[in-house]
Amino acid sequence: MTLVAGVDSSTQSCKVVVLDAETGKLVRGGRAGHPDGTEVHPDHWWQALSEAFDDAGGLADVSALSVGGQQHGMVLLDHAGNVVRPALLWNDTRSAAAAAALTDEVGADDFARRTGLVPVASFTITKIRWVRDHEPDLADRVAAVALPHDWLTWRLRGYGPAASSPLGPDLDQLTTDRSDASGTGYWSPSSGDYDLELFKLAFGRDAREATGNAGPGDSGTVILPRVLSPGEAAGEIHPVCFGSPAELPGAAGSGTLASGPRILLGAGAGDNAAAALGLGAKVGDVVVSVGTSGTVFSVASQAVADPSGTVAGFADASGEYLPIAVTLNAARVLSSVAGILGVDFDELSRLALEAEPGAGGVVLVPYFEGERTPNLPHAKASFHGLSIASSTRSNLARAAIEGMLCGLSGGLDSLRAQGSPATRLLLIGGAVQNPAVQAIAAQVFDLPVVVPSPGEYVARGAAVQAAWTHCGNRPAWPVAVDAAPAPDFHPEIQQNYLRASRHIDPGD
């Protein structure tokens, strides 16, 4: 049996899965935690990766591995391969003013045309502008800018600071993939190239793409990771990449890698693109992920450029495109209303299923944390349509689930408005195991709904990429399905929601 491994280095934790390359069956897995915060030194990710490998029983029998990672995080390196400052993560908002400034300088239409994006604080380009403006001494030291999965892949290959890596600080060995590059704000999904003029506008210095060969030395030009094609190998894991002794964590007792088989490294991917690979998503599939926030993304055959910024026109990890819309309010809508009603999630589900579709006219517009889709950062949540007769616990419970799903449906409407095809909806995330969420999704979305079994789909997608790199073609592993609720579309649910949302106070 040939084994491949996938890594999900997310904001909260590092997860590793080891799968059968032929069938995709899970053999074993491991995990380790990351520190909290919106800026984190990458060394914490490196340590967590080591611990997760140990927890997964090591890699001595693995043939290929790939890393999926949180998007947009800014990793700055100096010429000696040292991290210049803690990485600013996607959820660090200090660069909001930088995002506005870049949009003003370039124009939203031009930015969207060139990169598929309109700057917001999450994107890397806004973070490098912030460093330029607020930490100029550190900015002067920067020799390369990478993303979290780029840095981990580089370190796994044996590169890094001379004192702690076998191959030293060869910055021209930095690699990335098209999905993660497309979240920087200075790479074009349409052309497949970096927009070096935008990088210079943001950071004030020239940049170039890494060559994969020994670099020309200190020229003052910032190096950006070389963008690999789907299925292309980044290299191999170096047997001493975690330092002495010459074996990877977890390999003790099962053989050292110094004399064992080579472990290929795939290109890696951004987290949403890796999840799409893990789900086997194809053109026309829409993935709705219900977590703390909500994401709605589809696989499309054409690049998307939305000057409103509602839809981010990312590339995917298979050669297609991955337009995405994000809502700030998702699973926490359910926990908030469950708290108001004094019930747990099981009771919330039971109550919601007691009510009729439309919740007797009760509508929750769930902007508890403001909202990003639509862009109403200062708005608040509100119930509408309450009367003596309609103000029941069951109607309030159902209105919570309908409101959350209608908010996500707005993201789907935005994707469709940009021309993205939508033929099937894959519903993932912890909250979708709630029976009422599954049933009501079939009433809110005018698409066939499928609920895949719970799983680590980002790590699984990275393992798909590892198998692709090892075998030469993308595997077609089956995806287990927990539920496929019968289509039961009730257009009045969305109609009532849209009427109520038109009256929302945008706030200060």
Which of the residues are catalytic? 271
HEC secondary structure over 315-373: ECCCCCEEEEEEECCCHHHHHHHHHHHCCCHHHHHHHHHHCCCCHHHCEEECCECEECC
Look at residues 291, 296, 323, 329 and name the one whose alpha carbon lies nearest to residue 308. 323
How many whole angstroms from its chain centre is CA 362? 33
Long-range contacts of 255-264 (CB under 8 A, 24+ apart): 255/60, 256/60, 257/59, 257/60, 260/60, 261/63, 262/63, 262/236, 263/59, 263/62, 263/63, 263/64, 263/65, 263/236, 263/237, 264/63, 264/64, 264/65, 264/233, 264/235, 264/236, 264/466, 264/469, 264/470
Dist CA 66 CA 361 (whole Å):
49
**Using an 8 Å Cβ cutoff, are 183 and 124 in contact?**
yes
| Cβ–Cβ < 8 Å for 8, 274 | yes
Residues with Cβ within 8 Å of 353's Cβ and at least 6 positions away in sequence, in order, are: 398, 435, 436, 439
* Helix, coil or strand: residue 460: helix
Q: How many CA atoms lie within 13 A of 258 on its CB side?
A: 11
Answer yes or no: are the C-beta atoms of 162 and 81 closer than 8 Å: yes
| C-beta separation of 476 from 467 below 8 A | no
